[in-house]
């Protein structure tokens, strides 16, 4: 599966606000590397109010790192989504311990 690397520190705007990827981590797990993107999300104009929170997105295991670019010139990596719930819990715990982020989404 393709993962397009967004520019670190650049806001991505949506209908109710924006999010900003702050850093990418390559976490070792069971002899593989797991890609984890840490960022900040800001809700500015939602019907239920606004706010800001940290997030982590885990696209999956790194199969190949930045081996191509997309039509916008952004680097693209190949990732393997993580299906095993035990592995997801282990990775989420590692992210919570090191990054103090509790909103963690897996592809």
Question: For residue 90, what are the domain limits?
Answer: 2-106
Asked if 6 and 22 count as a contact pair (C-beta separation under 8 A), the reply is no
Q: What is the mean pLDDT of residues 8-27?
A: 95
Q: Provide the terminal-to-terminal Cα distance of the chain, rounded to the nearest Å.
A: 10
pTM here is 0.91
Reported confidence tier of residue 4, pLDDT bands at 50, 70, 90 = very high
Residues in the chain: 107
Reported confidence tier of residue 46, pLDDT bands at 50, 70, 90 = low
Asked if 80 and 107 count as a contact pair (C-beta separation under 8 A), the reply is no
Reported confidence tier of residue 28, pLDDT bands at 50, 70, 90 = very high
Q: What is the mean pLDDT of residues 57-72?
A: 98
Beta-carbon contacts of 86 under 8 Å, excluding residues fewer than 6 positions away, are none
Q: Domain total for the chain?
A: 1
């Amino acid at each position: 599966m393709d993962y397009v690397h967004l520019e670190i520190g650049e806001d991505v705007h949506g209908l109710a606000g924006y999010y900003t990827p702050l850093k990418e981590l390559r976490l070792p797990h069971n002899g593989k590397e797991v890609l984890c993107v840490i960022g900040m999300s800001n809700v500015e104009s939602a019907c239920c109010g606004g706010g800001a929170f940290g997030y982590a997105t885990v696209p999956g295991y790194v199969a190949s790192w930045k081996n191509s670019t997309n039509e916008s010139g952004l680097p693209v990596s190949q990732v393997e989504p993580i299906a095993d719930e035990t592995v997801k819990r282990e990775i989420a715990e590692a992210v919570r311990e090191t990054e103090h982020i509790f909103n963690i989404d897996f592809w």
